């Protein structure tokens, strides 16, 4: 009988400790600020091999001949648990395009919420995003048309300075669904702990039940 209550007390203690850690991590995650910049799509009109061919094909943009043409889409998201106010940008988010001759145009492809106003500014090979209010989970997609270097793929360098954000995270998620976004690290860790606790409880309950059954028999 004593061994039975020892097992039960152990399970209850593990549950209590795990829940405490989980809620602590969730609270920490809710207090953090975070900005994620993702390269979600990149399409080039003329491939590297095609560009080497002697062809009468010419690409014109606004009446001017260009060697190649690429469409790049970049998603900017507030991945933290706190809003980012317009007054909290010490330096705006700047998307610097690498391996391009110039940026032809840039505009908002989509946003969540849909009414989010995102007036973009071209600055040489960079696109400067506005210092706008972004609540947790808000995001927008920048659609940029660029002239890539011959045989090279456009890439992005994201910079900016925002109160409470240590650094702007950049990653490439090419091929993923446009609305697919990962959970903040605190929530992901909390979810992993809960799953681990559930598995541990199941194992300990099974062992306890098996021990009681053997004791009775």
Residues 72, 178, single domain; the answer is yes
Task: Write out pLDDT tens, residues 132-183.
Answer: 999 999 999 999 999 999 889 999 999 999 999 999 999 999 865 444 454 4
Q: For residue 30, name the pLDDT band (cuts at 50, 70, 90).
A: low
Residues 158, 177, single domain; the answer is yes
Q: For residue 59, name the pLDDT band (cuts at 50, 70, 90).
A: confident
Residues 107, 209, single domain; the answer is no
- Is residue 215 predicted with pLDDT exceeding 80? no
Residues 61, 143, single domain; the answer is yes
More confident residue, 115 or 3: 115
DSSP codes of every residue in the chain = -HHHHHHHHHHHHHHHHHHHHHHHHHHHHHH---EEEEEEEEEESS-HHHHTS-----EEETTEEES--EEEEEEEEE-SSS-B-GGGEEEEEEEEEESEEEEEEEEEEEEESTT-----EEETTEEEPP---B-TT-EEEEEEEEEEPTT---EEEEEEEETTBS--EEEE-TTS-TT--PPPHHHHHHHHHHHHHHHHHHHHHHHHHHHHHHHH-
Residues 91, 196, single domain; the answer is no
Residues 120, 66, single domain; the answer is yes
Q: Which residues are CB-contacts of 170 (< 8 A; sequence separation ≥ 6)?
A: 36, 37, 38, 39, 156, 157, 158
Residues 93, 129, single domain; the answer is yes
Residues 48, 67, single domain; the answer is yes
Residues 113, 171, single domain; the answer is yes
Residues 112, 168, single domain; the answer is yes
- Is residue 82 predicted with pLDDT exceeding 80? yes
Task: Write out pLDDT tens, residues 184-211.
Answer: 545 555 556 666 666 666 666 666 655 6
Residues 66, 166, single domain; the answer is yes
Residues 154, 177, single domain; the answer is yes
What is the number of domains present in the chain?
2
State the pLDDT at residue 45: 87
Q: Which domain holds residue 141?
A: 33-182
């Amino acid at each position: 009988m004593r061994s039975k209550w020892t097992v039960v007390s152990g399970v209850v203690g593990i549950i209590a400790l795990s829940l405490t850690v989980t809620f602590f991590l969730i609270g920490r995650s809710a207090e953090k600020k975070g900005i994620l910049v993702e390269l979600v799509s990149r399409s080039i009109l003329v491939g590297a091999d095609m560009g080497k061919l002697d062809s009468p094909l010419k690409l014109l943009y606004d009446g001017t001949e260009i060697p190649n043409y690429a469409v790049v889409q970049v998603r900017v998201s507030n991945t933290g648990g706190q809003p980012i106010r317009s007054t909290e940008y010490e330096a705006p988010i700047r998307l610097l395009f690498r391996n391009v001759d110039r940026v032809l145009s840039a505009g908002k492809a989509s946003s969540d919420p849909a009414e989010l106003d995102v007036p973009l500014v071209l600055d040489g090979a960079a696109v400067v995003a506005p210092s706008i209010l972004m609540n947790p989970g808000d995001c927008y997609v920048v659609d940029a048309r660029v002239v890539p270097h011959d045989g090279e793929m456009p890439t992005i360098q994201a910079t900016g300075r925002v109160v409470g954000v240590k650094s702007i995270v950049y990653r490439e998620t090419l091929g993923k669904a446009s609305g697919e976004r990962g959970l903040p690290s605190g929530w992901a860790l909390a979810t992993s702990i809960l799953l681990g606790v559930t598995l541990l409880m199941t194992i300990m309950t099974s062992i306890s039940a098996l021990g009681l059954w053997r004791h009775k028999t």
